[in-house]
A and B are shown apart, each in its own frame.
Chain A
Amino acid sequence: GENVEQHPSTLSVQEGDSAVIKCTYSDSASNYFPWYKQELGKRPQLIIDIRSNVGEKKDQRIAVTLNKTAKHFSLHITETQPEDSAVYFCAASKIQAGTALIFGKGTTLSVSS
């Protein structure tokens, strides 16, 4: 089955700096890679996703890149703000219905002002 590795487990940056979180996956058949932000005790919130037919996707300060050959994808947050502080999870799955998301172990991002 799919296995997703995520690094780093913790990341501390100064406000305004960029943050990068990296994930690798094992199943070459996976073709859907979402990123979630989770605040304590709440549901994960989808912040951006990418499908395997594209290499990069951007939404304002957030971008995701995908390297299918190397089976890794990354989340890039620019101009970080204190409200970006949260736990971020990457995930991988096949986009077909009936396929679960397999999550990485999470990255705790702390943005200090």
Chain B
Amino acid sequence: GAVVSQHPSWVICKSGTSVKIECRSLDFQATTMFWYRQFPKQSLMLMATSNEGSKATYEQGVEKDKFLINHASLTLSTLTVTSAHPEDSSFYICSARDDGAPYSNQPQHFGDGTRLSIL
């Protein structure tokens, strides 16, 4: 089945550090990938839609200069949390749909998520 690999799975770092998270589709191509953030005991909130070869689309309230997204190829999207602060601590998770799957059979595939803790 379709697999999305997300790394790292856990990051602990000091305030002010920038952290890069990778989301990779292992056996399919994804023109579009999605980044979600999940605070403890809350839902998955869409942060941005990552588009291969073009700029990401950010949801209202998400700072594009703080959460840099790069979708350099059809299998890789990266999210960089710049100058991270304790309030950025959260569970970040990416997902992607298979470009080659027919619309009638096209669920979203999730990565395992990245737990980010900023001290």
How extensive is the interface on chain B, given as a class? 20 to 34
| Residue ID in chain B nearest A51 by CB atoms | B104
A25 at the interface (CB under 8 A from B): no
Contact with B along A31-55 (1 / 0, CB 8 A): 0001000000111101001010000
The reply to whether A41 and B91 contact each other, CB–CB distance below 8 Å, is yes
B97 partner residues in chain A, CB cutoff 8 A: 97
A49 to B110, CA, bound (A): 15
9-residue interface stretch from B13-21, B38-46, B64-72, B75-83: B38-46
Q: Report B-chain residues with C-beta under 8 Å of the C-beta of A29.
A: none
**Do B106 and A101 have beta carbons less than 8 Å apart?**
no
- Residue B86 at the chain A interface, CB threshold 8 Å: no
B73 interface hit (Cβ, 8 Å): no
Q: Which of A89, A95, A98 contacts B31 (CB 8 A)?
A: A98
The DSSP consensus for interface residues of chain A is loop
Shortest A40–chain B CB gap in Å is 9
From A12-20, A64-72, A76-84, A102-110, the one touching the partner chain is A102-110
Q: Are B93 and A43 in contact (CB under 8 A)?
A: yes
Q: Do A101 and B43 have beta carbons less than 8 Å apart?
A: no
Q: A43-B93, A106-B43 are known contacts. Are A97 and B34 too (CB-CB below 8 A)? A: no
With a cutoff of 8 Å between Cβ atoms, the chain A residues found around residue B51 in the complex are 98
**What residues make up the interface of B, taking CB atoms closer than 8 Å to A?**
31-32, 34, 42-46, 49, 51, 91, 93, 95, 97, 99, 103-104, 106-108, 110-113, 115
Across the A-B interface, give the 6 residue pairs with the lowest CB-CB distance, nearest first: A43-B110, A98-B32, A105-B43, A100-B34, A103-B44, A103-B43
